[in-house]
């Protein structure tokens, strides 16, 4: 998908490749099949296996890649000698000329059998709103429809739709209307949790309200 000269491609689940004029940014590496090794930045929303997978990171990095992740990902990323930037919610960092704002990412109504949120707010998981060639892109992480979204400003919103651990298609559609991006892209399906059915349902719910692009994986 091309938006104002930025090419946004989907690999799997929450892993996207964003190609700007001078930089390539990947999000949440998972299940990558091919070797790319062209990442300038890899931004990671939280430490769950389906967002931070060592084997996938190896297929994206080179010596110059900078890894950006929440503080509690430190140990998992120790094996990589690359430069790293560790973040908490509500910070602004400039990494390799890319402005990156971190935002909260957490559950409000998805709990395990012990009544504990799958993604508790206190854990400090993040979403990111980053600016590349004047285009703002929001990658939500594993979140529910949270009140903070009211203040988010972005051109593109990459939103989870699978339900269970994250927003359902209906909740994701409500969050998309709240954020009001130029384009919303469903994610977090097709790799074990959720299928394209949820992505299409999300699109249908926003018909005539918001532009939605359902992407096809480039990593085959
Ligand atoms: Zn998660």
User: Taking the alpha carbons of 177, 161, 131, 118 in that order, is the dihedral positive or negative?
Assistant: positive
d(CA 97, CA 187): 26
Task: Compute the distance from residue 118 Cα to the ligand 1 centre, in Å.
Answer: 7
Indicate the Cα dihedral angle 130, 136, 138, 139, nearest 10°: -60
Cβ-Cβ contacts under 8 Å for 88 (sequence gap 6 or more): 70, 71, 102, 124, 126
Task: Compute the distance from residue 69 Cα to the ligand 1 centre, in Å.
Answer: 13
Q: What is the pLDDT of residue 192?
A: 87
For residue 136, what are its two tokens?
């703002």
Cβ-Cβ contacts under 8 Å for 109 (sequence gap 6 or more): 144
Task: Compute the distance from residue 47 Cα to the ligand 1 centre, in Å.
Answer: 7
Q: Give residue limits of the domains in the chain.
A: 2-212
d(CA 192, CA 189): 7
Q: What is the pLDDT of residues 146-196, one digit of tens each?
A: 999 999 999 999 999 999 999 999 999 999 999 999 999 999 999 988 999
Task: Compute the distance from residue 134 Cα to the ligand 1 centre, in Å.
Answer: 29
Cβ-Cβ contacts under 8 Å for 180 (sequence gap 6 or more): 210
Q: What is the pLDDT of residue 31?
A: 97
Cα 75 to chain center, whole Å? 21
**Residues of the chain scoring pLDDT < 70:** none
To 5 degrees, how large is the angle CA 104–CA 110–CA 111? 115
Q: Domain 2-212: which CATH class?
A: alpha beta
| Burial class (CB within 10 angstroms; exposed 0-12, middle 13-18, buried 19+) of 213 | middle
Task: Compute the distance from residue 37 Cα to the ligand 1 centre, in Å.
Answer: 25
Q: What is the pLDDT of residue 167?
A: 97
| Burial class (CB within 10 angstroms; exposed 0-12, middle 13-18, buried 19+) of 124 | middle
């Amino acid at each position: 998908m091309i938006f104002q000269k930025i090419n946004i491609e989907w690999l799997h689940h929450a892993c996207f490749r964003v190609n700007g004029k001078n930089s390539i940014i990947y999000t949440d590496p998972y299940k990558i099949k091919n070797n790319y090794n062209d990442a300038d930045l890899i931004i990671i929303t939280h430490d769950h296996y389906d967002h931070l997978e060592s084997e996938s990171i190896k297929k994206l990095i080179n010596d110059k890649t900078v890894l950006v992740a929440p503080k509690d990902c430190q140990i998992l990323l120790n094996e990589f000698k690359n430069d790293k930037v560790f973040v908490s919610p509500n910070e602004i960092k400039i990494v390799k000329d890319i402005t990156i704002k971190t935002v909260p990412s957490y559950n409000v109504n998805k709990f395990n059998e012990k009544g504990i949120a799958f993604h508790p707010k206190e854990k400090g998981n993040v979403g990111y709103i980053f600016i590349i060639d004047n285009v703002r892109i929001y990658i939500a992480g594993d979140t529910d429809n949270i009140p903070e979204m009211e203040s988010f400003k972005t051109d593109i919103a990459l939103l989870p739709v699978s339900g269970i651990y994250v927003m359902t298609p209906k909740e994701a559609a409500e969050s998309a209307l709240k954020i009001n991006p130029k384009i919303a892209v469903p994610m977090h399906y097709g790799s074990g949790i959720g299928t394209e059915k949820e992505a299409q349902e999300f699109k249908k719910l926003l018909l005539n309200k918001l532009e939605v692009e359902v992407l096809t994986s480039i990593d085959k």
